[in-house]
Amino acid sequence: TGSGSIPTAGPPTAEVPTGSDVVPTASLVFATATVVTPYR
């Protein structure tokens, strides 16, 4: 269940850019920060 949340929020965001490239980029940065934060 938890793993499903990550991929689900990725593909749709990249395929449906609301503004321009800011939406997918922000999503990638946020996802990376969320993964790197717990590791640190």
Instruction: Tell me the longest C-alpha to C-alpha distance in the chain.
Output: 32
Range of the domain at 27: 2-39
Is the overall model pTM greater than 0.85, yes or no?
no
Residue 36 has pLDDT above 60, yes or no: yes
pLDDT score for 33: 72
How many structural domains are present in the chain? Answer: 1
Residue 22 has pLDDT above 50, yes or no: yes
In this prediction, residues 11-26 reach a mean pLDDT of: 54
Nearest to 32 by CA among 12, 15, 16, 9: 9
